[in-house]
Amino acid sequence: MDRWVDAYLDHLSAERGLAPRTVKAYASDLSRLVQHAEGEGIHDVTELTTSVVASFLVALGRRGVSARTAARYLSSVRGFCRFLVQERAVPSDVCALINRPKVSRRLPQTLTAEEVLRLLEAPPTATRRGRRDRAMLHVMYAAGLRVSELTHLELADVDRRRGVVRAFGKGNKRRLVPLGEHAILALEAYLVDRDQHRHAATSAVLFLSPRGKALTRQAFFKAVRTYARAVGIRKPVSPHKLRHSFATHLLEGGADLRSVQAMLGHSDISTTEVYTHVVGDHMRRAYRRAHPRA
């Protein structure tokens, strides 16, 4: 089984172009499946059955794993089983008849437009680090980027004349997203500093750390949290919450769902539709507040 798991992970990395962090998550999930199967005396993929996968999910539940996490495990196992069928290692997909655990839909938490404005203006413009962080926050909110997309942007990915940024999302899918005037101004202020960076000529990365490398996701997360506290935002704030806010504020402003889907880089519009529930709550509150007979 380990040999086939390794082959599947190679497939995810080389053929599907998934990020190393995503492949590592698949590896962790599938190692739990292998351990469970071996505990039941199964050592070859040809011995995998629907009941083995079902008992694996039951065992996860007994360990206190949430339905949401169990659904993620099942998604990893399903992908592996489809790969086995595709490679003709097994005659049929043993996961085909297993239902996904019921998961309650969690609405994304967002910042208000006023909170976003305070956060964007938090980094000081008097320091190089502050100008870099302000540009990063502006670009992230203006384009709705994932934090990994933001930190891996290269200088060539930004077209200031056309006002667009090129992002590489999951599966290395490329998309172009407009940048607003405020984001471009913040970016131009930072680029003056970047040109003077001692690693500017040797690095293609847009947002440089002092050592000339791309910032880590963790470093940017800490910076966002620090700036949020500094301007009095008490709710938990993360870079991904800015992405949620981007989508919600666009829909509240009248943007159509397909356009928001394209800007977020979602392959399935059902992923984007969750934001319509947030906007629905917003509209209901506005209706109750404003309509004379609400």
| Residue type at position 36 | H
Which residues are part of the catalytic machinery? 146, 170, 240, 243, 266, 275
Q: Residue 182: how many CA atoms within 13 Å on its side-chain side? A: 11
